[in-house]
Structure formats: C-alpha cells, structure tokens
C-alpha cells in the first residue's frame, strides 16, 4: 500500500476525488486499520453498483 505523504500528490488526489464526487460518484474511504482490522466489513459498506443502462 502506498501512502500519499507528498503534499503535492495529496492535493492532487483530493482535487481528483472532489471532481468525481461533484460528477455524482461515491468515494468510500478506508484506512489501513479498516482493511487490516475488519476486512469482512469493508465490502458491506460499499453501495451496490447499478447495472449499466441498456444501449
């Protein structure tokens, strides 16, 4: 797992996330402790992805 300690990269990641949220995406965030300490609960917190619309 890569940690974003570089302030420039962290700002870039935050801006990118904000753009996705404004576009209607949901960005669940998990810490290393979430993934290590309760891995079975993570998928339950992710909303089900809707099926793509038929073309």
8-53: pLDDT as tens digits: 888 999 999 999 999 988 888 888 888 888 878 777 777 776 666 6
Alpha-carbon distance 21 to 15, whole Å?
A: 10
Taking 60 as the threshold, does the pLDDT of residue 2 lie above it? no
Alpha-carbon distance 33 to 6, whole Å?
A: 21
Taking 60 as the threshold, does the pLDDT of residue 1 lie above it? no
Contacts of 28 (CB under 8 A, 6+ apart): 45, 46
Please state the pTM of the whole predicted model: 0.55
């Amino acid at each position: 797992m890569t940690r974003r300690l570089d302030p420039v990269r962290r700002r870039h990641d935050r801006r990118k996330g904000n753009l996705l949220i404004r576009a209607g995406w949901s960005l669940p965030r998990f810490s290393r402790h979430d993934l290590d300490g309760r891995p079975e609960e993570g998928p339950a917190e992710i909303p089900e992805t809707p099926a793509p619309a038929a073309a």
